[in-house]
Structures are given as structure tokens and as C-alpha cells.
């Protein structure tokens, strides 16, 4: 049996199942997201998703989600990969994945984000467990906004 690292509870950051994050390269600052450890992959709502070639790389162009108080922005990123991801209906779909920095709880690191139509969902982004692993973060399933302020605007759609 492999020896695992002992869990140092004092080093864990406890976050709520709703938090605010920032995606600086997408110009999305302090917006509400749903943290879902049942989802492997982080998914961001995007409209008008299209790929194009730039040099010898495949890039993606898309319209970032509409966050109240923030201007809507057209983004361009290199495609990190394309993955088959099971959607909320349990059906596999091929999605483009980008890699970009995220800020949560005063910390910044790069995460993979799949682009998809989440227009009918309450939150423009679902933060999956791959984005949190090896970061000493645990999720309190009954609490929200433990490391961020509840947004006075830009929260979930009604």
C-alpha cells in the first residue's frame, strides 16, 4: 500500500459551495460561481464559440458570459485541448478547453476551463474538482461565500 501524505488540517482553506472568483485574462472579476466537487471539469458559459488557426496553433474565439456590472468581452485563447465531457444531462459532448489563471481566496493558479452553453444555468461557471485538487482546499457543502464577499450584483441569474 502506498504511503500517503498526512492531512494537515491547519493548512486547509475552507470554501463555500458558492464563491466569487476572478478570471483576469477574461476580464471577469469577482463573479459568483458554483463549486461542484461532483463535476470533474470547470465549465464556463460562452457564446459564439469558433476555432481558427493562428500560426501553427489552433485558437478559440468566444463571447464571455454576461456578468452584471462588467462589459461583455470577446476573448481569444490558444486551445489547450479538446475533451469529451459529460454534460449536466449525462450525455458526453466534445468541448474545447482553455487554460487560464483563476483567483480564489487570494491565491492565483492556472486551471482548465471547458467552454459550453450554460445559458440556462444559474451560474455562468461551475468550478469542478480538478481546479481545486492539490491546493489544500475543501468545500463546506452547507455554507457560501466563506472566502469572498457575496456579490451585490453579478450573482446567480434568478
3 within a domain of the structure (yes/no): no
Q: How many domains does the chain have?
A: 1
* pLDDT above 50: residue 122: yes
> Residue 122 belongs to a domain with what CATH number?
2.40.70.10
Mean pLDDT of the 51-72 span: 93
CA 40 to chain centre: 11
Structural domain contains residue 44: yes
Quick one: pLDDT band at residue 13, thresholds 50, 70, 90? very high
- Is pLDDT of 153 > 50? yes
Unique residue bearing C-alpha cell 464563491:
19
Q: Is residue 19 part of a domain?
A: yes
What is the share, in percent, of the chain residues with pLDDT greater than 90? 76
Whole-number CA gyration radius for the chain: 16
| Residue where the block lists cell 462589459 | 71
Residue 149 included in any domain: no
Tens of pLDDT, residues 16-48: 999 999 999 999 999 999 999 999 999 999 999
Amino acid at each position: 500500500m502506498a504511503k500517503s501524505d498526512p492531512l494537515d488540517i491547519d493548512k486547509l482553506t475552507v470554501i463555500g459551495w458558492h464563491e466569487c472568483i476572478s478570471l483576469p485574462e477574461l476580464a471577469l472579476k469577482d463573479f459568483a460561481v458554483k463549486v461542484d466537487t461532483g463535476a470533474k471539469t470547470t465549465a464556463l458559459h460562452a457564446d459564439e464559440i469558433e476555432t481558427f488557426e493562428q500560426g501553427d496553433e489552433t485558437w478559440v474565439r468566444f463571447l464571455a458570459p454576461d456578468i452584471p456590472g462588467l462589459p461583455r468581452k470577446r476573448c481569444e485563447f490558444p486551445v489547450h485541448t479538446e475533451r469529451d465531457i459529460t454534460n449536466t444531462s449525462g450525455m458526453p459532448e466534445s468541448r474545447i478547453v482553455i487554460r487560464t489563471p483563476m483567483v480564489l481566496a487570494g491565491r492565483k493558479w492556472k486551471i482548465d476551463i471547458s467552454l459550453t452553453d450554460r445559458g440556462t444555468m444559474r451560474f455562468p461557471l461551475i468550478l469542478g474538482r480538478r481546479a481545486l485538487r492539490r491546493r489544500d482546499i475543501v468545500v463546506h457543502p452547507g455554507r457560501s461565500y466563506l472566502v469572498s464577499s457575496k456579490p451585490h450584483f453579478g450573482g446567480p441569474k434568478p
